[in-house]
């Protein structure tokens, strides 16, 4: 089932590939129920320290696995993810278990339906192990904002796994799931993938349905996969991608065979290297690792081209205006009336609203609601939110111009490797700057893949971000796969 790559009390472990696991299940040499049980045993051993899972769906999972074993025994054709143990970030709803979004305000909430991405995994034969810890309402860069405690990085449990999808990244790194789903609003898949040394995918906005995702910022939120290697991530994205009548923003474009596309040669591809992503503030060891990845692409026959994305410096303020404004609107629904936490101290309707939200939301969520409400308020809307949307358009157009000259853009994913727990909790601005290389792609709506490209002298993973144009996932996967191949050779 596994291949150990680092022995930190056996916390970091590389899972077998999807293809090898599926082959064993098809042939009958591996039972899906035995595979699921082995993952639950590993979860029982390591989750108390790592705090990756918020809830387990053992009964459902073993039922799913048993159905796969029965189908295999009959000789039936099996779906693409037959028997593969997968886990879900807790901002995606799944029938039969809670969906807390990492918040006390949704403690105990059980949704009556599946998110479209979850339903697609089930239809593809995946065995869904449970729900994963995350920053509250996906707001954070370290997974320290969860109401249920921080997730620890399996590479070094004294460090953060990144956020907000820290549980999703750590689960793959520690082999507590073969693949996972996370969400990315401003870097929440790509940054934790970099910190934990796994592959994370930001699909183009509209490529994967957002139906069943507990919203943070609706024009930015995206659902994407984590896996231990590029091909597996491509396989999972192929399953969850596609149009959905329940999400008017989902694209009608056909879904390519991403796994097959990732196998293609990269020779002749033009790779853009933006100077602005290699400026002051980038850790020297991170720079060296990313530059080694760029050299791998050069040796694979890619043309390396310096480019400029001169408005990059505006991305952080633009993001934290747009995202917080949308969060202010989206989180207004959590009022203690219809579902979620209702304060027992309330004496009238007004105090019920105020106390329920005061008790249910954490500090970071309150901070962002206040920022967003201010940006949307009378007298400030034009100066802040409207201006931010105008600059957002400039950033998107800058990427479109760049992709007229290059096929993909390569950057660091984060300015540093994983930092220590508690290191930035008292400095929100420093925490926000951890997303400096990821928010631009989020604002532009383009796609990206984070792939490991080396480690620091202390053994901490470093990720390279491969950005592609709108619906250019196939190219991003090809480039990421070439980097992966170069690192393992």
Which residues are designated catalytic?
89, 164, 188
> Is the Cβ–Cβ distance between 128 and 94 less than 8 Å?
yes
Query: Tokens for 215?
Result: 């919203």
Quote the CA–CA distance of 106 and 88 in Å, as a whole number.
Answer: 17
Quote the CA–CA distance of 258 and 118 in Å, as a whole number.
Answer: 19
> Is the Cβ–Cβ distance between 384 and 321 less than 8 Å?
yes
User: Would you call the peptide bond into 446 cis, given omega within 30 degrees of 0 as the criterion?
Assistant: no
- Rounded to an integer, what is the distance from CA 353 to the centroid of its chain? 32
DSSP per residue, 370-426:
HHHHHHHSTTTTIIIIIHHHHHHHHHHHHHHHHTTT-SEEEEESSSSSPPBTTSSTT
Quote the CA–CA distance of 414 and 471 in Å, as a whole number.
Answer: 23
| Helix, strand or coil, per DSSP, at residue 122 | helix
| Buried/exposed 54-80: b ≥16 CB within 10 Å, e otherwise | bbbbeebbbebbebbbebbeeeeebbb
> Is the Cβ–Cβ distance between 360 and 104 less than 8 Å?
yes
Give me the half-sphere count of Cα atoms (radius 13 Å) on the Cβ side of residue 118.
25
How deeply is 368 buried, as exposed, middle or buried, from its count of CB atoms within 10 A (0-12, 13-18, 19+)?
buried
Quote the CA–CA distance of 150 and 159 in Å, as a whole number.
Answer: 10
Q: State the Rg of the chain over Cα.
A: 21
How many Å from the N-terminal Cα to the C-terminal Cα in the chain? 23
> Is the Cβ–Cβ distance between 467 and 446 less than 8 Å?
yes
Quote the CA–CA distance of 301 and 315 in Å, as a whole number.
Answer: 32
Provide CB contacts within 8 A for 9, sequence distance 6+: none
């Amino acid at each position: 089932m596994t291949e150990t790559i680092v022995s930190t009390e056996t916390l970091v472990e590389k899972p077998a590939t999807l293809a090898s696991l599926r082959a064993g299940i098809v042939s009958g040499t591996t039972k899906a129920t035995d595979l699921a049980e082995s993952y639950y045993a590993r979860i029982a051993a390591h989750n108390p320290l790592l705090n990756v899972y918020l809830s387990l769906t053992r009964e459902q999972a073993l039922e799913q696995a048993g159905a796969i074993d029965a189908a295999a025994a009959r000789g039936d054709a099996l779906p693409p993810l037959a028997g593969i143990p997968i886990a879900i970030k807790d901002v995606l709803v799944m029938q039969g278990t809670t969906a807390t979004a990492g918040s006390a305000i949704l403690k105990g909430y059980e949704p009556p339906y599946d998110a479209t991405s979850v339903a697609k995994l089930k239809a593809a034969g995946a065995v869904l192990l449970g729900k994963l810890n995350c920053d509250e309402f996906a707001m954070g860069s370290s997974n320290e904002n969860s109401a249920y405690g921080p997730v620890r990085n399996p590479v070094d449990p004294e460090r953060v796994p990144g956020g907000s999808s820290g549980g999703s990244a750590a689960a793959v790194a520690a082999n507590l799931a073969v693949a996972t789903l996370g969400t990315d609003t401003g870097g929440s898949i790509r940054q934790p993938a970099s910190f934990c040394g796994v592959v994370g995918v930001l699909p183009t906005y509209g490529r994967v349905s957002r139906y069943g995702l507990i919203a943070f910022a609706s024009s930015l939120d995206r659902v994407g996969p984590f896996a231990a290697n590029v091909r597996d991530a491509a396989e999972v994205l192929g399953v969850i991608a596609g149009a959905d009548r329940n999400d008017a923003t989902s694209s009608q474009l056909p879904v390519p065979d991403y796994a097959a596309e990732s196998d293609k040669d990269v020779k002749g591809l033009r790779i853009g290297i933006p100077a602005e992503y290699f400026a002051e503030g980038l850790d020297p060891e991170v720079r060296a690792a990313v530059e080694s990845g760029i050299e791998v692409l050069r040796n694979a026959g890619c043309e390396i081209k310096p480019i400029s994305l001169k408005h990059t410096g505006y991305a952080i303020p633009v993001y934290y205006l747009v995202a917080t404004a949308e969060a202010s609107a989206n989180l207004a629904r959590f009022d203690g009336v219809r579902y979620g936490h209702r304060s027992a101290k309330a004496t009238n309707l007004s105090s019920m609203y105020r106390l329920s939200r005061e008790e249910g939301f954490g500090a970071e969520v309150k901070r962002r609601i206040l920022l967003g409400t201010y940006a949307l308020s009378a007298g400030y809307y034009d100066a802040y939110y409207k201006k931010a949307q105008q600059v957002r358009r400039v950033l998107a157009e800058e990427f479109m111009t760049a992709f007229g000259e290059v096929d993909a853009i390569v950057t660091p994913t984060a300015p540093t490797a994983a930092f220590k727990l508690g290191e930035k909790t008292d400095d929100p601005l420093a925490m926000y700057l951890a997303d400096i290389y990821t928010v631009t792609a989020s604002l532009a709506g383009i796609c990206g893949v984070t792939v490991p490209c080396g480690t620091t002298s202390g053994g901490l993973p470093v990720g390279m971000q491969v950005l592609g144009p709108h619906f250019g996932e196939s190219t991003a996967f090809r480039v990421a796969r070439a980097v992966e191949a170069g690192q393992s050779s």
